[in-house]
Structure 1
Amino acid sequence: MQMSDGERLIAIMLAEVMQELKIDRELDPKLVKTLVMDKDEWALRRVYPGIFDSEEPSDEVVKETGDILWMFSIIESSVGRLSGAAADEAKGWHYKQWRGFDGNNDPHYGVARTMIETLGEFSDSRKGVNLNSHTQSTLPRYRRMYEKFHAYVQASEASPLSVDALRDLCA
């Protein structure tokens, strides 16, 4: 990314305004100002990769993100209905709750963020949940889970999921 002199001036001025007004956002105005003044725009892309993505996510990524969030809505609702020994067992299941997508390496993160925070989809079960898993291992796991989950949906056994199905998916 290369900034024109005018873009550089605007970015510096906006960073100074954010600093003066003590606006607390995801962007660090002091860092942005320093990088722009030092002509290190490459570092802006490195620090804020989600802002500078040049391609929008594919339809496949959008669909898969929605499918995974829907699956976890069903899983979390089904786990919430458990009682007694089954509820106690569920406490030990690692994947009984959605843990986000990797914010640095996975385009699903940005799609999920837009679906949840901007569009209000899946937001009832996502309030207060960190959307960034900080690991690339979640997506492959979610894909394996969804493959099994889809079989339960096709068999009309997903609303709610049985204890055996939950154990199969989450343990």
Structure 2
Amino acid sequence: MKPTTMEKLTITMLCQISSKLGIEDGLDPVLVEQAVSCDDMWVLGWAYPMMFPEITTPDEVAFVGDVFDMFSFIGAGYAELSPEDKKRVDVSSSHAAAWLSFAGYDGNNEGRYMSIAHTMVERLDRFSEFKGIANRNSHCPSVERYARMYAAFDSMRRDIVMRTMDADEIIQVISEAVHPDNR
């Protein structure tokens, strides 16, 4: 569902009227206006799923959610490790510490992902542990790296329900951050 130019204009004006009048009917006019003006209808599907069940989640949005899920598990798992296991993780690669937390997306080339991350965390209140850093600029391409890491994480995801990741699992995931040509 993509609104026409006239529909965008109408919705934008209605949102501005609603905001000006202070109408509180359960819909956030600023969020609705942002979603419509940026052609991010997925936002409405996530914010109001009962109202917009037909709106599907684009692949990029699902990917950003998966990346946040992965880093949530990595962070929680690392926090629970013994000092010995933390040391094992830390020395597992020369940049292990850099891959233990969400570094953001490249502001020059991955702006769409950065915008999705910001909207997901700051506007939709998802993945609250990433508040304030969701739109972090990594200053280097991240999507490919996160995709490799997520492939490793996804293969173990069903086995880590109701528990944290152990050191070996964390090492397996963060080792994928390094491009195969550089290992």
| TM-score (structure 2 length as normaliser) | 0.56
Q: Which residue of 2 aligns with 1:42?
A: none
Give the direction of change, closer, same or farther, for the CA distance of 1:115–1:73 in structure 2 (3 Å limit): same
Work out the CA distance in 2 between the residues paired with 1:101 and 1:128. 11
Segments of structure 1 that go 5 or more residues without pairing to the other structure are 1-52
Q: Is the 8 A contact 1:101 1:108 kept in 2?
A: yes
Give the aligned residue type for 1:98.
F
Give the direction of change, closer, same or farther, for the CA distance of 1:89–1:130 in structure 2 (3 Å limit): farther
1:151-170 aligned within 5 A: 151-154=155-158, 156-157=159-160, 159-170=163-174
**Aligned-residue CA RMSD (Å):** 2.4
1:135 CA drift (Å): 0.9
- Residues 9-59 of structure 1: CA distance to partner in whole angstroms, max 9, x if unpaired? xxxxxxxxxxxxxxxxxxxxxxxxxxxxxxxxxxxxxxxxxxxx9754871
Q: Which residue of 1 aligns with 2:78?
A: 79
Q: Which residue of 1 aligns with 2:100?
A: 96
1:133 CA drift (Å): 0.7
Q: Which residue of 2 aligns with 1:110?
A: 115
Total equivalences in the alignment:
117
Q: Which residue of 1 aligns with 2:126?
A: 121
1:81 CA drift (Å): 0.6
Q: Which residue of 1 aligns with 2:13?
A: none
Work out the CA distance in 2 between the residues paired with 1:129 and 1:112. 5
Displacement over 6 Å in runs of 4+: none
% same residue: 27
| TM-score (structure 1 length as normaliser) | 0.60
Give the aligned residue type for 1:68.
V
Q: Is the 8 A contact 1:90 1:96 kept in 2?
A: no
Give the direction of change, closer, same or farther, for the CA distance of 1:143–1:89 in structure 2 (3 Å limit): same
1:85 CA drift (Å): 1.2
1:123 CA drift (Å): 2.0
Give the aligned residue type for 1:70.
D
